[in-house]
C-alpha cells in the first residue's frame, strides 16, 4: 500500500540540488511544460477572455449548397413561402435562413 510522501517532497529536493522539477499541465489546453509548479504560479496571469461561438449563419456561403433542411421546415419557411417577391428580388429580405449550433 502506498502512502503520501513526507515533506519536503523528493522532486523538490531533487530540483533544489540541480535536478529536474516536475512538469506542469495547463488545464485549459492540456499542454505540458517543463517548468515547476512554483515557477508557473509566480508568472500566472489572468486567463484570456474566452469567446464561445454558439451558432454560425451560413445562408450565403458554399456550405449552404451541401445542407438540406427537413421538408416540414422548408414548408414553414416564411422567407421562401411568404416574403413578398418584390422585396426578395430587390435583396430586401432576412439574411438568416440557415445556421448551425
Are 93 and 87 contacting, i.e. CB atoms less than 8 angstroms apart? Answer: yes
Phi-psi region of 18 (alpha: psi -120 to 50; beta: other; left: phi over 0): left
Domain boundaries along the sequence of the chain: 10-42, 56-100
Could you tell me the three cell numbers for 12? 523538490
CA torsion sign, 68 to 72 to 75 to 77?
A: negative
Distance CA 46, CA 98 (A): 37
Q: What is the pLDDT along the chain (101 residues), one digit of tens a residue?
A: 556 556 555 555 555 555 555 555 555 555 555 555 555 556 677 777 777 767 888 888 999 899 988 999 889 888 888 889 999 899 898 888 888 87
**How far from the centroid of its chain's Cα atoms is residue 65's Cα?**
26
Amino acid at each position: 500500500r502506498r502512502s503520501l510522501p513526507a515533506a519536503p517532497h523528493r522532486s523538490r529536493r531533487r530540483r533544489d540540488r540541480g535536478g529536474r522539477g516536475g512538469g506542469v499541465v495547463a488545464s485549459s489546453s492540456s499542454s505540458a511544460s517543463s517548468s515547476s509548479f512554483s515557477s508557473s504560479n509566480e508568472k500566472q496571469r489572468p486567463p484570456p477572455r474566452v469567446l464561445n461561438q454558439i451558432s454560425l449563419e451560413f445562408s450565403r456561403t458554399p456550405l449552404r449548397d451541401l445542407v438540406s433542411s427537413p421538408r416540414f421546415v422548408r414548408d414553414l419557411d416564411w422567407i421562401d413561402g411568404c416574403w413578398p417577391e418584390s422585396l426578395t428580388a430587390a435583396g430586401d429580405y432576412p439574411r438568416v435562413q440557415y445556421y448551425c449550433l
